[in-house]
Every structure is written in structure tokens, then in C-alpha cells.
Structure 1
Amino acid sequence: MTARIYQRPKNAMQSGRARTDEWVLEFEQSEARRADPLMGWTGSSDTQAQVQLTFPSKDEAKAYAGKYGIAARVHATPPKSLKLQAYADNFR
């Protein structure tokens, strides 16, 4: 059972920063998805892939994984870059 720990990115459809300071522990899929022959939906019998745990800090997520013997990989948060641009720059 392996998991990954990452910081939740900002949604492209929102301007605020709600829930971007949370860290997420998410289990990786242990078996491949397969298509249902009748409906065409994809799914698997792996229920761990549906679990997402949130933590206020990276250290708490790592401590939880260590306590329960979960092999977890921590994904670094990409640096945030702001592109400051004025409306007048469109007419230069």
C-alpha cells in the first residue's frame, strides 16, 4: 500500500486561495481500472484509491503515514510565480 502526499493546488476556476494550505494523503491504485461491459463505465475493486485524507501540515501527514506503516512519497510544491501585467501593456 503506497500513498502520495502533496499540497492541494489552486483550482483554475477560482480566484481565492481556499483549502490551498492543506496537505493531502492519497492512496495510489493497486490494480488497473477496467471497463464495465454493460454500461461502459470504468472502475476497479480497489477502494483505497477513493480515500483522501487532509492534514494541516506536511509533517502531520508524514507522521500519520509512519504511524500506520504506509509507504508515502512527498511531492514538492511547485514555486508560485506571479505574472504582473497591466491592461495598458496590451497596447504597446
Structure 2
Amino acid sequence: MTAELRHRAVRIYQPTRNTMQSGSGKSERWRIDWEILQGAGRWENPLMGYASSADYMQGTRISFRTKEDAIHFATKQGWDYYVQQPTVKKIPPKNYAENFVYKPNQLRIMRTK
């Protein structure tokens, strides 16, 4: 294994849901991504505009059940890693009656005609 790959940092994180998803399926899994190498031979196809890279690890993702499994795998492989803490999911309470509650200094209905 080359020296730059062994001393390359990996990011361990829990991916957020896609904005098009309403459910929480597969959101508890943890993932490992490799950081982008400096001067990794990135180029763009001038005709089609596709971005390419000589870095074969850039598109590789590994998924784990827990954060501890991902950390154990990274240390077993000898990779430098850092853990990105997951974002806190904020779900505001929704109530239909809140649409009609008077709130001072807030325009509720905007008439355009």
C-alpha cells in the first residue's frame, strides 16, 4: 500500500436523509469516506463537462452498523480518521390550528391582487 494512502485521513460520519425522503430508513448506519487528495489529478472533460479524477478511493464508501465498528475497521487498516458527530434531528410540532393563531407583527395573508 502506498504511503499517501496509508496516511490519508478518512471521515467517519452518519449521513443525513435525502430531502426527498420522508422515512428514516438506513439513517442509523455509519459511513467511511476518504478525504480528497491534494493534486489528485482532477480534470474535466471539455466536451461533456464530466469531472474525473485519478483518485480511485474518492468514490468508495463503506457502510457500518455502528460508529465503533467503523472506528475499529479504520484502526485495523492503519488509517488516520476523525469522527463527524451526527446532526441533531429537530422535528417541530405541527398543529393545524397554528395557521390561524394571531401573531403580532407577522403578515399571515398576503393579497397580490
TM-score (normalizing by structure 1): 0.90
Aligned to 2:11: 4
1:38 is displaced (CA, Å) by: 3.4
Contact 1:26 1:52 in 2 (8 A): yes
Contact 2:9 2:34 in 1 (8 A): yes
**Structure 2: unaligned runs, 5 residues or longer:** 1-7, 102-113
**Structure 1: unaligned runs, 5 residues or longer:** none
Say what the alpha-carbon RMSD is for the aligned residues.
1.3
Q: Percent identity?
A: 33
1:75 is displaced (CA, Å) by: 0.1
1:35 is displaced (CA, Å) by: 1.3
- Structure 1 distance, partners of 2:17, 2:46, is 36
Q: Would you tell me which structure has more strand in proportion to its own residues?
A: 1
Contact 1:8 1:19 in 2 (8 A): no
Aligned to 1:81: 90
- Max Rg structure: 2
Figure out how many residues of one structure are paired with residues of the other and give that number: 92
Identify which of 34, 37, 54 aligns with 2:43: 34
- Structure 2 distance, partners of 1:87, 1:32, is 54
Task: Please list every run of at least 4 consecutive aligned residues from structure 1 whose deviation after the TM superposition is greater than 6 angstroms.
Answer: none
The amino acid across from 1:56 in the alignment is R
The amino acid across from 2:100 in the alignment is F
